[in-house]
Structure 1
Amino acid sequence: MIIAQSFSFLLLALVVGFAVGLFVARRGWYDKFVINRPLRRVLNLGPGDVRLIIVHHPVGTNRFLPNVALEDVVAQKNVLEVLSELEFEVPKIFHPENLSELDQKMNLISIGGPIRNEFTRRILSNALGDLVQFVPSAQVPDQVEIRLGKGQVYQSASYTDPVRNGVKSRNRDTALLLRMPNPFNAANAVVVIAGIRGLGTWGASDCLRKSAKALARELDKKVARPKAGFLAIIEVEYENFDIRYTTVKEVAGIEKSAVCDLSSVGFLYIIQIAPDLDPKRLKLGFAGKYDQCLWEQRTLVSTAKVLRIWPCRQSWEMAAIAALTCGLVHRSTQDEVFECDEIDALLARGDAFFDMLPALEKLLDQPPPQR
């Protein structure tokens, strides 16, 4: 009798334990594949690891840790929470110039707008052309606005909102949230979280973390192939140390054919923008073809002159410009324009830099002009 009761109790315990285990397992499955489905649909990251790209600002001589904008830090926190929910490993964090060629082929999440984040600038201008741009306002050049193609323009209310200090402060901004195939490796994705100002960057990351379900619904309604890529314009309002609300103002699809392959080979160039008026003012950049180097500048300044070009992979652009321009004065926050007193030394430094890299002339459509 006692043995029978003990056996019944053991059997009951096994049944209860199995039921509890099954519930926990199913709950984990439910969280992973049902609750987090909108996040997965919005991000649609590839099989590779994740790299987080954040600008590290210059620091004083008595500091060792990088100096990062507060809004970027909060945005980073939101992104890390999202990745944790999707069961990604904690990503490595990079300054834009420190990305290796291998890193650029991973899933990339870039935090911050193109004025300060060089990687964001490169993705928007080189991979997407004029599809989406952060440009100076035609009415107030000191203010930045987001322009979609040649049509819609979105501005930041933060420029006109009254400045209020303290815990009752309320401000608004506008931001871009973009996901597209990685132009260095289409199997993975690039995500850009960029406000016109830092407040918008924080708000766009908050929208991703808290409102992925609403964003996924907008994608289903307005984008024919959301997995291919999309961009969303988000309006943000901040109050009392928190993002009070975010509103999706616009959603549009990005077709795979609209994304340029940045693994291609082209030229790194150095151009004198106005040799007669300001010979020390130089622009460095990448172009797919030699003729494009000069044509792009002569649409702005007819006397522009190419000083030197080198065969170059698109993925080398940022590292090459950083190496060549070390110590030069950056003349523009939106273009790679510098002031150089010793141009011959700069050209020699460029020759030495590219002599260390693999020869690429045979991969180009045409041989480069003689140096």
Structure 2
Amino acid sequence: MIDEILSGVSGNLFSGAIAFVFGLLARRAWSRWTKTRPAGQLWGVLREKRVELVLTTAPESSPRENSSLVFPSEAIAGGEVSSYLTNMLKVECRTRLSGTFPSTSWNRNLIVIGGPVHNNVTRILLSRLDAGVEFDGHAIVLADGRRFQAETTVDERGVTAPIADFGLVIRLPNPFSSKQHVTLLIGSNTHGCLIAARAMLHENVKLSSRAVAGKESFCLLATAHVVSGEVQQVQVVESWVPGSALRGAAAFPVEGPAGLREAISATDNSAT
């Protein structure tokens, strides 16, 4: 009798332990899924688990603005994006520089950090995409004519320093491959690139996901304060869906390596 009771108790404890462990694992899996799925949709990496991350090759004429070959804020943005994609979303992320970007990689899933002034990859892609936004020097100009540009101040030593900047996220089909996408993280100034990146990371994922409402193609405009060189309080201020993804010759498919090289060369010549 006692043996039967003990056996029943042991069985119930064992079943309860299994149910507890299963419930704990299920809750963790659900929690991770609810965090990663919106981010995966935002970055477009739910199915494609490999991306090419392209950083701007900084001009050698700006020694005080660049660290090695990359602008500091853009290097931080690249590190944060790469870490997030690799650790949170389990994406293989290969980092390259715009100045040495190979022609064989243009038709892949691209994330490009840097504006068209210094980043030739951004410049070429923008010339083949219709994102409903233009650039006038460092100013971001929307289709309705509104202009957004970094705000600066001059300190007592006469040094110009940014106090606010704007970041722009453009996510559209890759003009060199209809099966892939490009995500451009652009700033009015170099801090804006970091603002654009952070609008797509961590606590901002949910807000940005709501702003784009699950669309695969979208644009986000974000702003933030810059205090002592640090980006603070990123906020998305505008979002829109481009009416037409491809512009001009980009509407025609590019086939094969030779066709890809020819299309890139033609676009680069027209953009410069």
Question: Could you say which TM-score interval applies, normalised by the shorter chain?
Answer: 0.7 to 0.9
Q: Do structure 1's residue 54 and structure 2's residue 42 form an aligned pair?
A: no
Alpha-carbon distance between aligned partners in 2 of 1:46 and 1:105, rounded to the nearest angstrom = 18
Q: How does 1:14-163 map to 2 (within 5 A)?
A: 14-32=15-33, 34-45=34-45, 47-48=47-48, 49-57=50-58, 67-84=69-86, 86-128=88-130, 131-136=132-137, 144-149=138-143, 151-158=145-152, 161-163=153-155
Q: Aligned residue for 2:204? A: 211
User: What is the SS of the residue equivalent to 2:145?
Assistant: coil
CA-CA distance at 1:201 after TM superposition: 0.9
Alpha-carbon distance between aligned partners in 2 of 1:255 and 1:85, rounded to the nearest angstrom = 34
Alpha-carbon distance between aligned partners in 1 of 2:119 and 2:151, rounded to the nearest angstrom = 22
User: What is the SS of the residue equivalent to 1:36?
Assistant: helix
Q: Aligned residue for 2:187? A: 195
CA-CA distance at 1:186 after TM superposition: 2.2
Contact 2:175–2:246, Cα closer than 8 Å, also in 1:
no
Q: Which amino acid aligns with 1:38?
A: P
Q: Aligned residue for 1:313? A: 262
Unpaired stretches in structure 2, ≥5 consecutive residues: 61-66
* Alpha carbons of structure 1 residues 82 and 35: separation in structure 2 relative to 1, 3 Å: same
Q: Aligned residue for 1:341? A: none
Q: How does 1:122-271 map to 2 (within 5 A)?
A: 122-128=124-130, 131-136=132-137, 144-149=138-143, 151-158=145-152, 161-163=153-155, 171-209=163-201, 210-220=203-213, 227-240=215-228, 242-259=230-247, 260-261=250-251, 264=254
CA-CA distance at 1:93 after TM superposition: 0.7
1:297-322 per-residue CA deviation (whole Å, 9 max, x = no partner) reads xxxxxxxxxxxxxx96213568x98x
- Which structure has more relative contact order (CA 8 Å, sep 6+)? It is 2
CA-CA distance at 1:5 after TM superposition: 2.9
Q: Which amino acid aligns with 2:146?
A: Q
Unpaired stretches in structure 1, ≥5 consecutive residues: 60-64, 137-143, 221-225, 266-310, 322-334, 337-371
Contact 2:148–2:188, Cα closer than 8 Å, also in 1:
no
* Alpha carbons of structure 1 residues 103 and 53: separation in structure 2 relative to 1, 3 Å: same
Contact 1:36–1:85, Cα closer than 8 Å, also in 2:
no
CA-CA distance at 1:248 after TM superposition: 1.9
